[in-house]
Structure 1
Amino acid sequence: MGQKKIVIIGAGVVGCSTAYYLNKMGQRNITVIEQGPLFETGGSTSHAPGLVFQLGFSKVLTTLASQTVEAFKELSHEGQPSFYSVGSLEVANTQERLDDLKRKAGVAKSWGMETFVLSPEECAQKNPLLNSDNIYGGLYVPSDGIAKPLRAVDQMAHFSKSCGTKFYGHTEVTDIEVVDDQVKSVETSAGRFEADLIICCAGFWGPRIGEMVGVTIPLQPIAHQYVFSNDLQELGAETEEVSMPIIRHQDSAMYYRQVFNGIGIGSYQHRALPVEVSEITKYGEAKEMPSVKPFTPEDFEKPWEDAQELIPALKQAGVKRGINGIFSFTPDGMPLLGESQKVRGFWAAEAIWVTHSAGVGKEMAEWIVNGAPTLDLELCDINRFDTYAQSPAYYKKRSIENYEKVYDIHHPFMQPESSRDMRVSPYYMRQQSLGAYFNEKSGWEQPQWFEANDSLVATYEKNILERKGWAAQYWSPIIEAEHLHTRQYAGLYDVTAVKKRLEISGEGALEFLQHLTTSTIDIPIGQVTSTLMLHELAGIKDEIKVIRTAASTFFVLCTGAVEASWIKKQVPVSSRVVIQDLTNGMCGLSVIGGKASEIMNSLDSQAFVKSEWEIGQAKEGFIGNVPVLAVYDSYGGTERWELFTTSDQGLKLWDVLFEAGRPYQIIAAGDRALESLRIESLSLRNGKDFWSEHNPYEVGLDHLVDLNKPTFIGKQALLDRKANGPNLLLTPLLLDDPSMVVMGYEPVFDEDKVAGFVTSAGYAYNFGKGIVYALLSPETVHKSSQLSIEYFGKRYTATRMTQSAVRAHQ
């Protein structure tokens, strides 16, 4: 990207970090506008207690936190550190929590972070203030510590100013000018600032800025209690602000840090205290600062009892003062980053804690300058929320629920409770009558399994692997029965929620898709092809399916809202290409299994005689009186007919197919069986087995790349990455113990060295063993066939599948 006029709204740690890294990458025409003073602005940065726990089950958040720690370490000035590396302790009050910390220690190895699981006595040695009598143990992370964001901001702003960046304090944004869906300027109390690009880093004021351009920023400000104790006798000799490890006690939803001779105590234990943006005062109008609400002592009564139990020295010290500090929560607990699909040039960097701040600034700068960040930020993309999730009725309730559960033990299949039934397919009433167990997927109520199939468990019980412990939570043996029954007979699957459905048409549609994808799209009408989309750095944006329905009309199936928004952003402003999102008005069903073609042949329609179809073919026709777009291909190593129709015809389609399938023992089957079939057959899934950090040669998708094409997005970068060789290789493994399964993201060891981590994990019934895909170092793939996977602190041996075995299996 060349030089642009960039305006950043907000001079907190996120805004200053973004300006800092943009300057480091050579951008020079930058203006930072702040409604409060510079640089203790009155936002969340100003009151943040600074505890940095880097490690989480999210790889992207862990990486952003690690980047922040490294940045803050480099931003010390004149003996004043911006980060104190004192380490952290997470302590467990229950065996369940200790087991979860062991799982977390495994994920730490996957993400490349050093951790130690400690006994109660070892925890007390790390922090002598702890009462170890009632704890089962803890997790120690040496690289965690305390951030001093205002010191870091001062250094970042100093550098940015030296590069010509202008900072304006006490300057309120009053409006943003948008012309032809492109930002043009920012109107403020100090005048007008022209802008090619605006970055909203306004924190919990972000929704107000978004309203100025018609963009929803779905975050909920919530007040959170933080208390300062009086001095502790045990810390009387301390001269440093912090020298002891910070503590997180998630079983009581609390955290602790030393503050010179006292203790700072944060609590999530209290009721949620949501704050409306309209109720937040401006700087100078509040008693302390806009981000601080009056302390509510009644909410701290039980937390104070728990605090004294964990740190007995607090009994003599007592409470000095407390605040209810405001910060932001989102519907899924992730930040809101990237350029809005709705308004070109309007970028957001919102709902970010100090923990991730500098990392976000770095990645945002790379995204803006290079066209893509180094780190995959799909889970943080502001465009991930469809219109259903932009309603305050949805995102406020879901954000509050995330606050209330922030320190719970989170299972991968644990589902949200609030804001449900937002989207239902036409088959919903049939699924309910069959006893569907629903999860949410892209806002849709998606059946996971059906209680109506409980009788099948007895039929297949000799083959079913009974899961135990962690793997058995949010699981049913019915999933396995549906999987096995589909293989032998057939399953009817609701695939409405599985993909976004786009129609791309108009003059230049073919040329547009040719530029967008890695393989040829100039296919005959009625043909289907799978292809990849790469971003500018040759990372995989998505694997998509393209169906040519007319000379200049294509039906495209992509993973979700982020991928769909990215496709739309690639359309030039002057183009005549039209993209219609058909997702809401269409529904999908798949008939999968050994009897799938027999069922389709039995329909009263000549259109579905198998002999007249080839794999990878699509036709428009009728099933009964229901118009469908039908695709014939394979899934999970067996035949599949995928059928799309309009939502008003969906229920009729379900009934016709179900009735036609009765003689062939068809069942309604859930999403978990569909996923199990995918994993067993070693089929890949975007966002699970690969993401935009990976290129096709690393994950075995190079057969979808045609380097003879004159050009496509990311081609030159792909050639460079191919020449440099892979960083990781996606590799299938079989667990040697036939009674074991794992869940995903566990570390893989080559002897005692971490070689990578698991992506997808399931059970291969045709092998009688657990099966996984793992991203491994190339040297391990080329050298070792015998590996091990760590699961809850224990090692289980695994064998790498040979290429010939993989081909035979697929």
Structure 2
Amino acid sequence: MGDLPASARAIIIGGGIIGCSTAYHLAKLGWKDVILLERGKLTSGSTWHAAGLVGQLRTSANITQLLKYSVELYNRLEAETGLATGWKMNGGLRLACNNERMTEIRRQATTAHSFGLEMHLLSPKEAQDLWPIMDIGDLVGAAFLPTDGQANPADISQSLAKGARMNGVRIFEETAVTGIEVAKGRAVAVMTDKGRIAADVIVNCAGQWARELGALAGVNVPLQSVQHQYIVTEAMAGVPKNLPTLRDPDRLIYFKEEVGGLVMGGYEHNPIPWLPGPKPSRGDRFALPGDFAFQLLENDWDHFGQLMEQALIRVPALEKAGVKQMINGPESFTPDGNFILGEAPEVRNFYVGAGFNAFGIASGGGAGRALAEWVAGGEPPMDLWPVDIRRFGSVHRDRNWVLTRTLEAYAHHYSMAWPHEELESVRPVRVSPLYQKLKDQGAVFGWKLGWERPNWFAPQGVEPRDVYSYGRQNWFEHVGSEHRCARERVVLIDQTSFAKFMLVGRDAEAALSWIAANDVAKKPGSIVYTQMLNQRGGIECDLTVTRVADDAYYIVTGTGYATHDFHWIATHIPAGLDARLIDVSSAYGVLSLMGPKARDVLAAVTDADVSNAAFPFGMAREIAVAGAMVRALRVTYVGELGWELHIPVESMVAVYDALWAAGGKHGIANAGYRAIESLRLEKFYRAWSSDITPDHSPLEAGMGWAVKLRKNTPFLGREALVAQVEKGGAQKKLPKLLACFTVDDPAIVLLGRETIFRNGRQCGWLASGGYGYTLETNIGIGYVRDPENGVSPEDVLSGTYELEIACERYPAKVSLQPLYDPKMERVKG
């Protein structure tokens, strides 16, 4: 399409469905001077051979909304552009062949109801009425989503491309990108085989090649191409045009109708990566050929046989059906099965939309819109944490690690989605100095951003491993023992995996005062719990800040948020200020000493005065323990007297041994992260990414006390909070309010995403759920919502509540205060 321009406002690289959708939506937002570059022809990478099933339900409300938007877009796109899309809203069936899978489906149905998605439970016969050619001899039940469907991937992409052109986007095919120019930490230009193009924003939608393209800018995009096979049959009797899509996860297979026949594929437990072989010049076994356009891989019938065997059981008529074609096309998958969106943490103005795990067509419309809005607004338009590129860390730079973990994630695609399940491959990577010592004491570890963290401790004689189920899992009573020890005696918790930063410089206070919602202008030794807000007043970070000097702050945040929070803080330091952010996570281990006997234990190992008068809550001190200088922070996330002890890593073992010896007479015990979860639920402490997110303000989360609105100090997000207060009026109404719920029935298990009913009407869903061992009850946390009329505290407390759990309703009680609060210390949340 003519000569390349010398510059553009935005350059999108990659002409698959995500690139075309992002271009379409940027243009719809009014962006002019947008160009899309495609090395081959549009859709020539993996889009053209995608199977095209469009399902909507995910475990995240916002990701589900993105997929719902895809359906809305596909419903209207042909009328808008005049190009057929092959879109059919023929619904989707999900089968269950055993009781555990049926329980999973029942919980999925409740999740769908929570997120406003229609989903119906069916008997085996009702499912067969919708899909007459399947055998139902082994079925326990099924679910039907009437708004799911299927599409022709290439046609939808071409229609999006036409819509983009209609709104001014210029598309250049057969234009290869050879380099990304970065200056002063910002992407500023794209080098192509036809010349250089300067740009304000560059968007990497290069599909399987997104990792290599990102590397040109110094950006890591952790994905791996995997061979994905399916067959297309000749026309078959009994296959109508409106046959729903079908997913049979117990048999690892899926089906859709195509030209009177069936498409059948699946997700085998032994996937094969696409590793074309090293380039002679680079020796890189992961390098993909640049000229792989509209091509397929060699068919592997032996490997596909395991899926065919299962398909013949479900659809016996397949045995006599002619196979028109087998497709073996590589598709990009990620280590956690979620796609990748957002601004790269390494380089400003460089965005990524890639790694769609074989549901790129379902995601295409919504993901393209979200990425376009992210580009236009400079921050995510909503909570997109499950797909945010900043969920990755240093471990994801190792291509061999990514390969192995991605294959494990692929193999789990249709496996049971057990609560609390941990992936097992390529572990351990990052461990505390106490790892082996705790393992010898029965620690069962979980994994987060490369770190091994003790989830619970198996007593002597109990096998230290998780046994998964939808009921009470095998660790339930043992976590209860750890919980009670924290409430009644004293525990040690290894929290070395915390992310830890130093903000230093002459203007550190001014910089942090702008980024933090709470007042951080405190004297050295003070600890401040604070959120950091976006322009909408939503919570982007939730952390503690300790002032250690006039020009230095020590910042502690959650393990999984290390990349995200570092990027948020570093990119929001106002220009011209002398303030530098340094990651010191690996320099310090952390031992949390918690419980009513914590002071007795700490006093026995240090000469420092740790009395309440000398060491009050919310303060930090440097104290000597076992020959080490320890930064002791008097805070707690379990609601008991306690300290976080931040210890030079080389002294971790010595300090642990000293505390353990001193705590012997007080009944000290190890505790893990599952006990922390139970303890914090009883105290109604919030957790970022579940209870509080970029979609929720501190006011809605009941944390207005941690915001400096009464001071005149400006801070990021202040205007949005002021507007929220003014709109709420004298009744203090807000669009939603966070509340705590209890369900006494011991037979049920709360996991989160259960539907909340107030006075018989749906009003939200649980963000998190678990069990409180002190109170001996099930506890959930979720927002009571009424965006139109607003919600006041009085409204919340005046209602009668029920929770829908696995499609059954149970009476619930509500509270806006901590459930367990015997005059203990108030801290985080």
Shorter-chain TM-score bucket reads over 0.9
Structure 1, unpaired ranges of 5+ = 456-466
Q: 1:789 aligns with which of 782, 787, 803?
A: 803
Are residue 719 (structure 1) and residue 713 (structure 2) matched? no
Sort the Cα spacing of 1:531 and 1:165 in 2 relative to 1 into closer, same or farther, 3 A.
same
Q: Partner residue of 1:385? A: 392
Q: Deviations over 1:773-810 (max 9, x none)?
A: 12222478437533122222322211112659687787
Q: Partner residue of 1:584? A: 586
RMSD: 2.3
Distance in 2 separating the partners of 1:574 and 1:489: 50
Q: 1:402 aligns with which of 398, 409, 413?
A: 409
**TM-score normalised over the length of structure 2:** 0.91
Q: Partner residue of 2:375? A: 368
Distance in 1 separating the partners of 2:476 and 2:819: 30
Q: Partner residue of 2:283? A: none
Distance in 2 separating the partners of 1:670 and 1:450: 7
- Shifted more, 144-153 versus 224-233: the winner is 144-153
Q: Return the letter of the residue paired with 2:723.
A: D
Sort the Cα spacing of 1:408 and 1:709 in 2 relative to 1 into closer, same or farther, 3 A.
farther
SS class of match (2:698):
coil
Q: Partner residue of 1:496? A: 496
8 Å Cα contact 1:680-1:762 kept in structure 2 = no
Q: 2:596 aligns with which of 594, 617, 641?
A: 594
Q: 1:71 aligns with which of 70, 73, 78?
A: 73
Sort the Cα spacing of 1:732 and 1:808 in 2 relative to 1 into closer, same or farther, 3 A.
farther
Q: Deviations over 1:652-688 (max 9, x none)?
A: 1111111111121111111111121111111111112
- Shifted more, 171-180 versus 136-145: the winner is 171-180
Sort the Cα spacing of 1:746 and 1:454 in 2 relative to 1 into closer, same or farther, 3 A.
farther
- Deviation, 1:48, is 1.1
Q: 2:148 aligns with which of 144, 147, 153?
A: 144
SS class of match (1:492):
strand
- Deviation, 1:751, is 5.0
8 Å Cα contact 1:234-1:313 kept in structure 2 = no
Distance in 2 separating the partners of 1:684 and 1:179: 40
- Shifted more, 68-77 versus 25-34: the winner is 68-77
Q: Partner residue of 1:688? A: 690
Distance in 2 separating the partners of 1:738 and 1:246: 38
Q: Deviations over 1:49-83 (max 9, x none)?
A: 21011112233432221121111112014483552
SS class of match (1:76):
helix
Q: Return the letter of the residue paired with 1:799.
A: K
Q: Partner residue of 2:630? A: 628
Distance in 1 separating the partners of 2:816 and 2:440: 45
Q: Return the letter of the residue paired with 1:446.
A: R
Sort the Cα spacing of 1:732 and 1:806 in 2 relative to 1 into closer, same or farther, 3 A.
farther
Distance in 2 separating the partners of 1:305 and 1:120: 21
Q: Partner residue of 2:533? A: 534
Distance in 1 separating the partners of 2:746 and 2:234: 57
Are residue 131 (structure 1) and residue 138 (structure 2) matched? no
- Deviation, 1:752, is 4.3
Are residue 329 (structure 1) and residue 333 (structure 2) matched? yes
8 Å Cα contact 1:414-1:474 kept in structure 2 = no
Distance in 2 separating the partners of 1:71 and 1:210: 29
Q: 1:729 aligns with which of 732, 737, 744?
A: 737
Q: Deviations over 1:383-424 (max 9, x none)?
A: 222212211122111001001111001123111111111000
Distance in 2 separating the partners of 1:615 and 1:175: 53
Distance in 1 separating the partners of 2:300 and 2:598: 62
Q: Deviations over 1:13-57 (max 9, x none)?
A: 1011111111111211211100111x3x31121111210111122
Q: Deviations over 1:551-606 (max 9, x none)?
A: 01000112322122211121356443111101112110011001011111222413
SS class of match (2:471):
helix
Q: Return the letter of the residue paired with 2:743.
A: L
Q: Partner residue of 2:769? A: 761
8 Å Cα contact 2:255-2:265 kept in structure 1 = yes
Q: Partner residue of 2:347? A: 343
SS class of match (2:352):
strand
Are residue 475 (structure 1) and residue 490 (structure 2) matched? no
Q: Partner residue of 1:268? A: 267
Q: Return the letter of the residue paired with 2:717.
A: G
Q: Percent identity?
A: 31
Q: 2:680 aligns with which of 669, 674, 678?
A: 678
Sort the Cα spacing of 1:453 and 1:631 in 2 relative to 1 into closer, same or farther, 3 A.
farther
- Deviation, 1:453, is 6.9
- Deviation, 1:190, is 1.8
Q: Deviations over 1:118-163 (max 9, x none)?
A: 0011001112222222211111000100123333333332232233
8 Å Cα contact 1:627-1:645 kept in structure 2 = yes
Q: 2:669 aligns with which of 651, 667, 670?
A: 667
Q: Partner residue of 2:706? A: 704
Q: Partner residue of 2:731? A: none
Q: Partner residue of 1:464? A: none
Are residue 21 (structure 1) and residue 25 (structure 2) matched? yes
SS class of match (1:472):
coil
Q: Return the letter of the residue paired with 1:231.
A: A
Q: Return the letter of the residue paired with 2:396.
A: A
Distance in 2 separating the partners of 1:279 and 1:623: 51
Q: Return the letter of the residue paired with 1:727.
A: P
- Shifted more, 307-316 versus 358-367: the winner is 307-316
SS class of match (1:638):
coil
1:4-83 map, 5 Å: 5-37=9-41, 39=42, 41-77=43-79, 78=82, 80-83=84-87
Q: Partner residue of 2:618? A: 616
8 Å Cα contact 1:335-1:351 kept in structure 2 = yes
- Deviation, 1:738, is 4.9
Q: Deviations over 1:418-470 (max 9, x none)?
A: 11110000111210221111111222111112224779xxxxxxxxxxx9961
Sort the Cα spacing of 1:752 and 1:143 in 2 relative to 1 into closer, same or farther, 3 A.
farther
- Shifted more, 626-635 versus 413-422: the winner is 626-635
Sort the Cα spacing of 1:740 and 1:246 in 2 relative to 1 into closer, same or farther, 3 A.
closer
Q: Deviations over 1:61-110 (max 9, x none)?
A: 32221121111112014483552110000111212111111111011111
Q: Return the letter of the residue paired with 1:32.
A: L
8 Å Cα contact 1:517-1:532 kept in structure 2 = yes
**TM-score normalised over the length of structure 1:** 0.93
Q: Return the letter of the residue paired with 1:331.
A: P
Distance in 2 separating the partners of 1:738 and 1:477: 13
Q: Partner residue of 1:223? A: 227
Distance in 2 separating the partners of 1:767 and 1:304: 51
Sort the Cα spacing of 1:154 and 1:81 in 2 relative to 1 into closer, same or farther, 3 A.
closer
Q: Return the letter of the residue paired with 1:703.
A: W
Are residue 517 (structure 1) and residue 516 (structure 2) matched? yes
- Deviation, 1:737, is 2.5
Q: Partner residue of 1:459? A: none
SS class of match (1:760):
strand
Q: 2:181 aligns with which of 164, 177, 187?
A: 177
SS class of match (1:709):
coil
8 Å Cα contact 1:471-1:742 kept in structure 2 = no
Distance in 1 separating the partners of 2:565 and 2:651: 27
Structure 2, unpaired ranges of 5+ = 1-6, 277-285, 729-733
Q: Partner residue of 1:233? A: 237
Q: Return the letter of the residue paired with 1:121.
A: K
Q: Partner residue of 1:293? A: 297
Sort the Cα spacing of 1:634 and 1:540 in 2 relative to 1 into closer, same or farther, 3 A.
same
Q: Return the letter of the residue paired with 1:629.
A: R
- Deviation, 1:7, is 0.8
Q: Return the letter of the residue paired with 2:147.
A: S
